[in-house]
Amino acid sequence: MPVGFLYTMGFIIALLLALAMTPLVKKFAFKIGAIDKPNHRKVHTRIMPRLGGLAIYIAFVGAFLAVSPFIPDGLLRPRDVNMINALLVGGTIIIILGALDDRFELSAKVKLLGQIAAACVVVFGFNVRIDLVNIPFGETMQPIAEWIGIPLTILWIVGVTNAINLIDGLDGLAAGVSGISIATIVVMASLMGFQPVILLSTLLLGGIIGFLVFNFHPAKIFMGDSGSLFLGFSLATLSMLGFKQVTIVSFVTPLLIIGVPLSDTFFAIVRRWVNKKPIFAPDKGHLHHRLQDLGFSHRRTVLIIWGIAAIFGVLAIIQSAVVQSSAANWITFAVICLLMFFLQLGAELTGIVDKTRRPLINFLARIGVRIAKVDTQQSRGK
């Protein structure tokens, strides 16, 4: 079977499985009491079924089992099979953890321990870890010691997993952002010819799109922690594994792939620190909350954030495409500077950290006033 046809069939199977399984999971969620009740922090006003991530997981695993007998010999190397098993086993632990939370609302400590356990399975059970890093303006790829690589890998997986969980606040938001990030990985892996990542990402993308049919506003089911944790774990693993074996890759690329959830998480930490609140205390200051406070509708808010995620994705693709050029380090540096500028500007415009503190906007305003004064003086001198 041609590889392209294999990927297409896998995508279609995952899509159809998600379309078929999501209504069944919805009924199952109501039956076992995995529901989300409205409160002062929620935007929905009626009881909603959770556990939607189970449908994505079933679609992903089911599609993989369906296409695996047709994978051509030699397409996957032993280390590729090891990587796939790491994602499947770790993802299974995460989906069980998330499903239990959707039903019983586990404590934050229990969920964190479960995420660390899943990350440790990937690292120690399958020996998958970050062992190379790109240092700007230095040699291309540098090996790093295990005592650094192991905790760095665990921190990356747990951090990204929670980042997706934090943005899951509106219908279709987390699923759409995750889908855009996965689509970005598909494009990049295709350009690099990394077959196992193309396969896994394509299957996962099919499951996400099928679920989004029922999750976009007005949602009929929420993905719950089962979905946000599973998608976060999958994104963390794929963004790390897909490109660490490429000869030259920038450290910026994986950050760009998941730029929206990571930046929202970063600003949430800063916001709580500035306001002297516990770092893990929930609030209504996330990007989607601020956009709604500015007057955007539910759907438009989601679409705006999807657009931002798409911009991050395009930057990641461009970054990976030029990373092998002689000017790669300078391009990376320029991308970082531009991102920092626009992230700060966006944070101040939306008030995601503080509604009153606007140092960059005030600085730009002062510069504008000075330029205007100079132009006025020059015109008078003439």
Torsion of CA 168, 163, 334, 332, to 10 degrees: -120
Distances (CA, A) of 298 to 40, 170, 214: 17, 7, 16
Q: Which residues face 36 on adjacent strands?
A: 48
The type of residue at 354 is: D
In angstroms, rounded to a whole number, what is the distance separating the alpha carbons of residues 107 and 91?
Answer: 20
162 is in an annotated binding site: no
User: What residues have CB less than 8 Å from 242, skipping those under 6 apart?
Assistant: 185, 188, 189, 194, 197, 201
165 is in an annotated binding site: yes
The pair of structure tokens assigned to 207 is: 């499951």
Candidates 196, 200, 195, 201; CA nearest to 182 is 201
Distance, CA of 157 to chain centre: 11
Calculate mean pLDDT across residues 353-361.
Answer: 83
> Per residue in 33-50, pLDDT tens?
999 877 655 555 678 999
Calculate mean pLDDT across residues 296-323.
Answer: 88
- Burial of 266: CB neighbours in 10 Å, binned 0-12, 13-18, 19+: middle
Calculate mean pLDDT across residues 4-32.
Answer: 96
> Per residue in 248-280, pLDDT tens?
345 567 778 888 988 988 888 888 888 888 877
> Per residue in 221-236, pLDDT tens?
999 999 999 999 999 8
In angstroms, rounded to a whole number, what is the distance separating the alpha carbons of residues 289 and 255?
Answer: 23
Distances (CA, A) of 326 to 133, 192, 201, 330: 18, 18, 30, 9
Instruction: Output 185 or 134, whichever has higher pLDDT.
Output: 185
Q: What percent of the chain has pLDDT over 70?
A: 85
- Give me the helices (H) in 250-295, please: 252-257, 259-274, 287-293
pLDDT at 281 over 70: yes
In angstroms, rounded to a whole number, what is the distance separating the alpha carbons of residues 305 and 117?
Answer: 31
The pair of structure tokens assigned to 356 is: 């009153």
Contact between 202 and 7 (Cβ < 8 Å) = yes
Calculate mean pLDDT across residues 290-313.
Answer: 92
In angstroms, rounded to a whole number, what is the distance separating the alpha carbons of residues 65 and 337?
Answer: 44
Q: Please report which confidence band the pLDDT of residue 245 belongs to, taking 50, 70 and 90 as the band edges.
A: very low
Calculate mean pLDDT across residues 26-33.
Answer: 95
User: What residues have CB less than 8 Å from 280, skipping those under 6 apart?
Assistant: 108
Q: Please report which confidence band the pLDDT of residue 196 belongs to, taking 50, 70 and 90 as the band edges.
A: confident
Residue written as token pair 């899943």: 118
In angstroms, rounded to a whole number, what is the distance separating the alpha carbons of residues 182 and 313?
Answer: 9
Distances (CA, A) of 291 to 166, 180, 215, 327, 361: 16, 20, 20, 37, 18
User: What residues have CB less than 8 Å from 212, skipping those under 6 apart?
Assistant: 172, 175, 176, 179
> Per residue in 64-103, pLDDT tens?
999 999 998 888 888 788 888 999 999 999 999 999 999 9
pLDDT at residue 379, rounded to an integer = 62
pLDDT at 15 over 60: yes
Candidates 255, 310, 305, 222; CA nearest to 43 is 222
